[in-house]
Amino acid sequence: MKLKKKVFGGLALSTSLLLAACGNGETTTEEGTNDTAGETTTEETVEITFWHAMNGPHQEAITKLTDEFNESQDQYQVNEENQGDYNTLNQSIIAGGASQTLPTMSQLTPGDVPNLAKDGLLLPLDAILEGEDGFTADQLDSVYEGFLQSSVYDNQMYAVPFSKSTRVMYYNQDLLDEYDVEVPETWDEVIALGEQMVVADDEAVAMGLENSYEMEFETMARQNGSPFITEDLEVEIDSPESVEMLEFIMEMIDEGYARTAGEDGYFSGPFGRGESALYIGSSAGLPHIAPVAEENGVTWSTAEIPTINDEKLTMFAGNDLGIFASASEEEQQAAIAYMAFLLQPENTAQWAIESGYVPVTEAGVNTDEYQSYLEENPEAAAATLELEYGFSSPIFVGHAEYRNNLLETLEEVLINDLDEEEALTQLDTTTEELISNNN
């Protein structure tokens, strides 16, 4: 794989937190005696606290890696603390900032980064990433460019990519065989499959979409040539290319070629039960689909996202790791050492294998362990292929409010039949005002 040149120029998302200065973590010491030359020396172990929102198999995977880090050296001790889901984690960060009780480091959604950085609560990392216990230059160069876009605010790196995923297309091989079609590579081929299934009065649909299909809409709009929101935060959400793609999605649903998850919440369940031939969702959904599909006897795998105008594109999602500005220098170094450990090739590969996310570095993908995993689990290959051309949507202060507005807009179009062009024009105007007032 050829690594693209990195540009540390992305911005960030989420509403401003209006937080107070944050609090210090704790440093504890373990004292021991050394009788050499009759003197007593003190060996210090720097303890840091790490907040995250990993549960189930993800919790087991991060605990395993944390234990391995702690056992690999005696300078630092990482104490991980599960904060529940991402919403609860975000609330904990807000409360911790207000009460000056933030931990040393935390898992962060991309929307957290610009707000926390603007409020002075996050530590800029550029000057401390590399060092004896930190990252090597080769290690940083190996991070996929698209993952860095959600780590940078105001031309400084405030977070390190960690639990990352792509959008992939899941396909039901049994249904494709029934209609004698190959795995669709374009949206036109998806429509053709949908037409066949409707004519056959099939209860299943061609394409399944999440209820929150905003990532699919933005991807298709960008494939169609829409700037959407540029890296310079120019807003063109209501461009003709965007309007055309929202109309395209609505027509697919109206004609019975596609549907959203509805009461299921996510489409992984309906897809696993054989209710669609195709489904676009997170690559991290593999562990959720596998047991349902096995229970229902569905033969399935994954493919890259369908194209428009032969434009390959997928959106990255997931979370990063950041250090709070209240951390002491010793705690900062401990956190950097831990992050560098997590991104070592064999460790980011292990994390991906056990969690369903993807390795965040090219070196991780190329490890023997991960390549063997891909051979044994071909359904994970599509996400890996997309790492070369995936991107993260531009991030900025106020992004969480923008995303809520986007979701409400798409819901109005889907549920209440609001005109697509009118809806996107309203969203475009509110987004421009939001960016202008906060960035």
Average pLDDT over residues 30-58: 68
Beta bridge partners of 229: 235
- The answer, yes or no, to whether residue 292 has pLDDT greater than 70, is yes
pLDDT-based confidence at residue 44 (cuts at 50, 70, 90): confident
Beta bridge partners of 180: none
pLDDT-based confidence at residue 404 (cuts at 50, 70, 90): very high
* pTM across the whole model: 0.86
Six-digit token pair at 183? 């795995």
Task: Output 19 or 278, whichever has higher pLDDT.
Answer: 278
Looking at residue 202, its pLDDT comes to 98
Whole-angstrom distance, CA of residue 70 vs CA of residue 25: 17
Dihedral over Cα of 9, 16, 113, 13: its sign:
negative
pLDDT digits (tens, 9 = 90+) for 101-129: 999 999 998 888 999 999 999 999 999 99
Torsion of CA 78, 83, 85, 90, to 10 degrees: -100
pLDDT, the chain, mean: 90
Looking at residue 9, its pLDDT comes to 34
Whole-angstrom distance, CA of residue 343 vs CA of residue 366: 13
Identify the weakest region by mean pLDDT among 41-45, 215-219, 233-237: 41-45
- The answer, yes or no, to whether residue 141 has pLDDT greater than 90, is yes
Task: Count the residues in the chain.
Answer: 439
Residue 82 amino acid letter: N
pLDDT digits (tens, 9 = 90+) for 341-391: 999 999 999 999 998 899 999 999 999 999 999 999 999 999 999 999 999
pLDDT digits (tens, 9 = 90+) for 252-261: 999 999 999 9
CB 333 within 8 A of CB 134: yes
- The answer, yes or no, to whether residue 181 has pLDDT greater than 90, is yes
Looking at residue 43, its pLDDT comes to 65
Average pLDDT over residues 14-30: 37
